[in-house]
Structure 1
Amino acid sequence: MPLDEHALARRRDAHPLAKVWPVLRRSLAAATAGPGQLLFLSDADGHLLWVEGDHATLRVAERAHLLPGALWSEEFAGTSGVGTALATGRPFQVFGAEHFLSAATAFTCTATPIHDPATGELLGVLDFTCAERDWQPLAVPLLDTARRLALSELEAVRLRETARVRNRYVERLTRRLGTRSAIAAPDGAIVHSDPPGWLPARLPGPPREGPAVLPGGQVVLLERLAAGGLFLVTAGDAATGPVVTPTLRFHGLGRARASLEIAGTTHELARRHSEIMALLLADPGGMTAKALATEVYGPEGRAITVRAELARLRAVLGHRLASDPYRVTGEFEADFLALDRDVAAAPVPELLDRYPGPLLPGSRAPGVAALRDRLHDRLRHRVADAADPDSAIRWAALPHNR
């Protein structure tokens, strides 16, 4: 049982089959309505994410660990419906004593793998399980019909998401005057191009973030627009100039939560992500997960906790978030770093114009507090040294100084 309640909920929320599980439940309701009948949906690793059946059968199944959060891959459970279907990549039936685990020999399992209709990626396994004596000869064609229904629903979800993101980013593409751009689906199909026809109808292979060279020699930059979703493709050649990763801009002064501008899109970051970004930008050489956890959570901070936050932040940053150590790559600007750099030389009135307040004023992260206090103290000394009454009044009026 490697997945506790919280880990199970996170994996369910992030899994693409979460969108089709309600459809599968409804379509197979009659098959799981009777006693001794169960319906499972696993991920590609063999974790059971959803289990459906009557209460009495679920209680019996629990004794064999046939419940959400359990791992039924062949590596950990031997021959079973879920594990062997994953291993073979095709529908599979396991009758009673054919199971490797003795706890499962009272059941007959029929399983079929489900693949992403766009990429062919294995997403998980749909499994119908019943008491050995109640074996259903139509279980295989029944599950195959349900699998086809799931594929149709996945394709419908993909098309709806493609249309939504396409509409969202078409205006952004039209603003990139002089730059050839396109939107690519996760399978490489070009769903929008500006101008039309500058790319082939499909990119070779599944898209990956970062610079790429197409078979014809065209150099492009691919950026993920949404986690698991579409990609922005930008050209780079003699006419448009080399491929350059757009500058990332971080705004955290006087803000409870930072904003992040990437390629024309503004993201409002969560508080933890704001803190992590500020720390990573302040240390371009990179930080280990343990060091970052200490700077965010204090001495008791755990690396596993900050890794989970970094995984969520990667959905926004994409290839800009590198690891070993964790760092932000490419060109970036941060309001607090730029101000800290100019404190010694820029005129005091200009510095105050650029200082709406301290860095992430509500943050209690030790590393952020150190960055915030350092910049604030440097500005305070600079204002005092300037001996300018107007600047002194403006400084005293800042919320942090009242």
Structure 2
Amino acid sequence: MGESMIDWSDASRQALKARALLESNSTNLNELPLRNDVRESWKRSLARVAPAAEPSVLSDDRLRLARERSELQRIWPVFEKLLVPAATDANLLVALADARGTLLWVAGSTTARAGAERVGFAAGADWAELSIGTSAPGMALATGTGSQVSGAEHLYEQAQQFSCSAVPIRNPRTGQVIGAVDLTGGSDAISMHSLPLLQAAVMAAETQLLLPGAGAVVDPDYLDLGRADGAHLGDLSLSLRHAEILTLLVEHRHGLSTAELVEELFERPDAAAEGTVRAEMVRLRKVLAELPGRVLDSRPYRLRWDLQSTLGRLRDALELGDLDWALQLYAPGLLARSQAPGIVSLRYQMQSALRELVLDRGTAQQLLHLGRQLADAELLRAALRELPADSPARSLVVSEVEQLEA
């Protein structure tokens, strides 16, 4: 991207000019005097957040769960080894964000960390464009390319004392962006060597992801339905049918007979359905044999251990009224390929409950987030009522509502 040719002093002056124009409402967003990638990020960001937005932060328990369920935990040690010592010497921070923009780990200079924490740049904080506006990690996740942001180019005003560079991390098997690694601090964070250094570290980390995950600490008692690469039980990748069965058994702790499982799994069961279920249970037991102590009873089929699931935690979050946690757990893709009646019913229940809770007490950003996920005009109209009258996002949201209702 020609980062060595960027005049950062001029970029900051232009960003200050752009902010003044934005505040005066005297310019079109397409005409803001910014670098092209930063201008596009401002446009995306202003469609969702106000410049004064502050990052939301996970509680310690939520952060622990987010780390446990993330495949990034396997490669954080790579960045600790390759980046953190040099960053500490340069008074910089290294941050590892997941695909949603949550900073799962932040390490480096004690001085830099203290200053960054005052503006919300800390483990557990949400630095996605959707939440906090333009930043290097947010841009890297949004565009899938290496990004750099200097001082005033940050849309979040409190972050203008920092500069940052970030590079996306991809699953080497699927090519999907699963996170971003970031350098944050003073001018050294955007030096001509910053992006190549990050890119080299990412290459090493992505290679690590190709290796068996023997060193990964993954909860073997958590049925993770939210991963882009399918359902997982600890390290074990599950077929859709096995994920459906385990989900149903988590929901029916008392157990299900073969006939009841047939009703929950098949839209139009035939005479062979019960035999098919028994065969799947034999296969599932073979899969579970890799996890000692995880046993299924028969007659009825029932879990003999305490298995947690994404849907169960989502229900807990809804019952607690914890919208941030619920929105983190929820994705329209939860077992989206499943047409099993029992799964379709559970999916509908969770979606309906979350939608009602967001409508009842959601912020503008939460309403926009779920409204766009579900393509729901009512949620977007509710977001309009919550947005400030002078918010630049209003015109875009109005356009989205009109398209949905056309």
TM-score by length of 1: 0.47
Name the structure where strand makes up a greater proportion of residues: 1
Q: Could you say which structure has the higher helix fraction?
A: 2
Structure-2-length-normalised TM-score: 0.47
The structure with the larger Rg is 1
- The structure showing larger relative contact order (alpha-carbon pairs under 8 Å, at least 6 residues apart) is 2
